[in-house]
Amino acid sequence: MFGKDAETTGGAPVATGGDARTTSILAQGCSFKGEVTIQGIFRVEGEFDGTIRTPEQLVIGKTGIVRGDVHVKNAIIGGRVVGNITAETKIELQSGSHVEGDIRTRRLVIDEGVFFEGNCSMGDKKPMPGEKTMPGEKTTNRPVPNAVKREASAN
């Protein structure tokens, strides 16, 4: 009934493997505080305070609220995030979502009706020596290119 990848203990299904397709859910009405590291997909419909790490995908549903930092491969945001998001591949901000914090990713999709307040860093560029890119870390100033200096002095 539950497939080949589950065992039954006392009538309740128990997952047996670390399958990357596994979905973990923090349901609406539930709250969690702390740090979580998840294999597979993590879906948040409730409230989460802390740090999320998953090598796969994070989905924050319309009722989901995350306060803290997120480190994932892909993120789909439909709810609210107050914190920084680092996604290796892609971040999608769906209509009605609310993000307060910095985002760093290679690809970014923003639907109409999104609230986003923060900084966005995109691309495959490596940080310059001494530059920090993670939330809460000190950043260094980069030198201003000569072309920008010339434009500023011309005004």
**104-148: per-residue pLDDT in tens?**
999 999 999 999 999 999 987 555 444 444 444 444 444 444 444
Looking only at the bridges linking them, the beta strands covering 65-67 and 80-82 are parallel
For 17, the token pair is 């493997």
Range of the domain at 32: 18-124
pTM (two decimals): 0.68
**Within-domain flag for 134:** no
**Within-domain flag for 56:** yes
Place of tokens 């491969």: 73
DSSP 1: -
**Within-domain flag for 48:** yes
**Within-domain flag for 35:** yes
pLDDT digits (tens, 9 = 90+) for 33-62: 999 998 999 999 999 999 999 889 999 999
**Within-domain flag for 133:** no
Closest CA to 52 of 31, 74, 69, 76: 69
**Within-domain flag for 137:** no
Q: What is the mean pLDDT of residues 2-27?
A: 55
How many structural domains is the chain composed of?
A: 1
Rounded Cα–Cα distance for residues 106 and 124 (Å)? 6
